[in-house]
Amino acid sequence: MIFHKDSKVSDYFSLVKISHTVFSLPFALIGFSLAIHETGDPNYLRLLILVLVCVFFARNAAMGFNRFVDREIDRKNPRTSLREIPKEIIRPGSALLFVLLNAGLFLAAAYMINQLCFFLAPVALLVVLGYSFTKRFTFLSHIILGLGLSLAPIGAYLAVTGHFATLPIIFSVIVIFWVAGFDIIYALQDVEFDKNEKLRSIPESFGNRNALTVSALFHFFAIVLTVFGGWFGNFHIFYWIGTTIFSIILIYEHLIVKPNDLSRVNIAFATLNGIGSVAFAAFVIMDIFIR
């Protein structure tokens, strides 16, 4: 059998950190809501299901591929040595089959949406799967990760309208800087390991203090773009409440993580960003449909 007989569905959900979907899904829902409000498409429920399916399968493929490609690195790193593949809870072949299955289902769902989404789906897969190799040769891997997640809002918008527009692109650029900023914080945990293994990251290349400065700069750009998006889209009170919450959370991240104190990196990376993205999306979507 290719799939390990002792592996459970929960093991695969753990493999891909299914809870981290909160980083991309809220912004996909923003893009979808912008499109529905613009078009008034009566088939919104069918399209919503297909968008959710695409986000789910694309993310599973990306995370599963990352775990497959990095399996030997994860085995050596004490922080990641207990992941499913190093611990042999999931076999590498099973993980790769899982990736192929999810990639195929993503393409099938894109085909069911519209022709443009189907034609762009392989490009999206190239970005989200290709990210896994980038830290082997460039410290800009954080930006590539951000680019991968930034496809969610514009992709959801395209699913409904079939054309590009400025406002969802602004939200996509927000995602690039937001994700790159918190991924730099996450990478602080592995600086010495990355140096030893010749893996690239901004913390590995420039040190903790400079890396946090770059992260803060990226988050500053994200906040500025969020404000610009609110002005450009002529949003109202709920949007600005969401922007305020999102901004405060990003600022707080940089108050609790210090170059010589990484004890709260996981809180900054996972908890705060999860709360921030959900809160921001909730208020933006309220503003879209209530105004």
Q: Quick one: average pLDDT of 175-203?
A: 97
Q: Residue 1 above 50 pLDDT?
A: no
In whole angstroms, give the CA distance from residue 254 to residue 258. Answer: 8
Q: How confident is the model at residue 22 (pLDDT cuts 50, 70, 90)?
A: confident
Check pLDDT > 80 for residue 37.
yes
In this structure, how many other beta carbons lie within 10 angstroms of the beta carbon of residue 46?
Answer: 12
* pLDDT above 60 for 5: no
**Is residue 20 scored above 90 in pLDDT?**
no
Can you give the pLDDT at residue 134? Answer: 97
- 280 close to 245: Cβ distance less than 8 angstroms: yes
Q: Is 140 within 8 Å of 176 (Cβ atoms)?
A: no
| Average confidence (pLDDT) over 95-107 | 98
* CATH fourth-level superfamily of 9-290: UbiA prenyltransferase (1.10.357.140)
pLDDT at 96 over 60: yes
Q: What is the pLDDT of residues 224-253, one digit of tens each?
A: 999 999 999 999 999 999 999 999 999 999
What average pLDDT score do residues 74-86 get?
96
Among the residue ranges 11-20, 57-66, 132-141, the one predicted with the least confidence is: 11-20
pTM of this structure: 0.95
Least confident of 21-25, 26-30, 190-194: 21-25
Average pLDDT of the chain, as a whole number: 95
Tell me, what's the pLDDT at 267?
92
What average pLDDT score do residues 128-133 get?
97
